[in-house]
């Protein structure tokens, strides 16, 4: 079974997120990073200028604000994908 696995994410290409969700996207992206960083640290990882899996060093173990834009974009894409799925499934996002 494992060899035959084919990912089938829900198609959310038709979902458009309004500008009103930009702040939420950024807050979610920051939280995605915080959860990732906390998990890594619980596993014994620490900051290192270069990633080293054997020594458990990672350059992204810094505050979200200190991440390179490319890493922030990765986290934003996770948030955007989640919000699009929520809308695709028929849920409403309100404040």
pLDDT tens string 17-69: 999 999 999 999 999 999 999 999 999 999 999 999 999 999 999 999 999 99
Q: Is the residue at 7 inside a domain?
A: no
Radius of gyration of the chain (CA): 16
Q: What's the structural domain count of the chain?
A: 1
What is the torsional sign of CA 16, 22, 24, 29?
Answer: positive
What domain range is 72 assigned to? 29-86
Q: Is the residue at 54 inside a domain?
A: yes
Q: Is the residue at 17 inside a domain?
A: no
Q: Is the residue at 46 inside a domain?
A: yes
Q: Is the residue at 56 inside a domain?
A: yes
| Cα gap 25→83, rounded to integer Å | 8
Q: Is the residue at 38 inside a domain?
A: yes
User: pTM for the whole thing?
Assistant: 0.89
The pLDDT value recorded for residue 61 is 98
């Amino acid at each position: 079974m494992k060899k035959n696995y084919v990912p089938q994410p829900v198609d959310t290409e038709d979902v458009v997120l309004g500008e009103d969700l930009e702040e939420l996207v950024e807050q979610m992206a920051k939280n995605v990073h915080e959860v990732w960083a906390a998990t890594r640290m619980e596993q014994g990882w620490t900051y290192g200028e270069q990633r080293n899996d054997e020594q458990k060093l990672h350059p992204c173990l810094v505050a979200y604000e200190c991440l390179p834009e490319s890493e922030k974009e990765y986290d934003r894409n996770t948030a955007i994908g989640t919000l699009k799925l929520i809308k695709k499934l028929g849920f409403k996002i309100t404040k």
